[in-house]
Amino acid sequence: MDWRQYGERMASLARDLLAQHSVDDTLGRVTASATELIEGCEVAGILLLRGKDSRTLAPTDPLAVSCDRLQQELGQGPCFDAARTSVSGQVYRIADLTDDRQRERWPLFAPRAHDLGVASMMGFLLFTEDGDFGALNMYSRTVGAFTEASQTAAWLLASHAAVAVAGAHNRAQLEQAVLTRHVIGEAMGILMVSDRLSESEAFDALRRRSQERNVKLRTVAEHVCRTGALS
């Protein structure tokens, strides 16, 4: 591993991640980078656990989706262990899923994952927030594909990814908040003109309809913007 060259590529990747336009674009760049930069990584995906539900985000190959679904089905596996411990910097590197120690640790998962074509894998905790858990997972169809060097390189990638994903989420939330405020303001303006209401009366009308119908205030505002009326 040429660490100087790798450092230069990581610096370039950091800028690239910050330049992505959405959370999905950021996640896709992260998993694509894993297969490009990490020795031994053939497949990558990001597992999102939310309560008892799981989703695979930005998979580079269907194998990542199948492996994550298997863990959810069985309720065991490296990523689920990481989710339960939620230890910052948690890393799993499994050199050989056919090894007896792995089959003792995950007696249901290990043999079936191997049947899917997974011979070795690594997992890196990206974030835990409000009960959500995200992990960057890397897979190989070759036994012993991941070395200590590739683990270190992947940890550096995961560290960059965690920062980039958090930033992308924050930008998305801010953009959503600005858009919601704009829609509500537009709906208030429509009601102020059509129903001759004051600003506070127009907002109260929107809020009451939101409570009556048990829907979000933005949903009511979008209806007013489309139809020109509350009804």
Domains of the chain: 3-167 (3.30.450.40), 174-227 (1.10.10.10)
pTM of the model: 0.71
Choose among 186, 209, 182, 188: nearest CA to 200.
188
Rounded Cα–Cα distance for residues 222 and 227 (Å): 9
Rounded Cα–Cα distance for residues 231 and 33 (Å): 50
Name the band, by pLDDT with cuts 50, 70 and 90, for residue 130: low
Tokens 């199948």 -> residue:
66
Structural contact between residues 134 and 127, judged by C-beta atoms closer than 8 angstroms: yes
Rounded Cα–Cα distance for residues 165 and 46 (Å): 11
- In eight-state DSSP terms, residue 8 is H
Name the band, by pLDDT with cuts 50, 70 and 90, for residue 170: low
SS3 for 5? helix
Residue 87 has pLDDT above 60, yes or no: no
H-run or E-run covering 37: helix 23-37
> Which residues are CB-contacts of 10 (< 8 A; sequence separation ≥ 6)?
37, 156, 157, 160
Letter for the amino acid at 168? A
Q: Encode pLDDT of 89-116 as tens digits.
A: 568 888 898 888 888 888 999 999 999 9
Rounded Cα–Cα distance for residues 33 and 13 (Å): 8
Q: Encode pLDDT of 201-217 as tens digits.
A: 888 888 888 888 888 88
**Beta pairing partners, 50:** 53, 132
Q: Which runs of consecutive H residues, i.e. helices, occur in 75-229?
A: 78-85, 100-105, 109-116, 148-194, 199-213, 217-227
Choose among 95, 84, 97, 96: nearest CA to 125.
84
pLDDT score at 175:
61
> Which residues are CB-contacts of 209 (< 8 A; sequence separation ≥ 6)?
220, 230
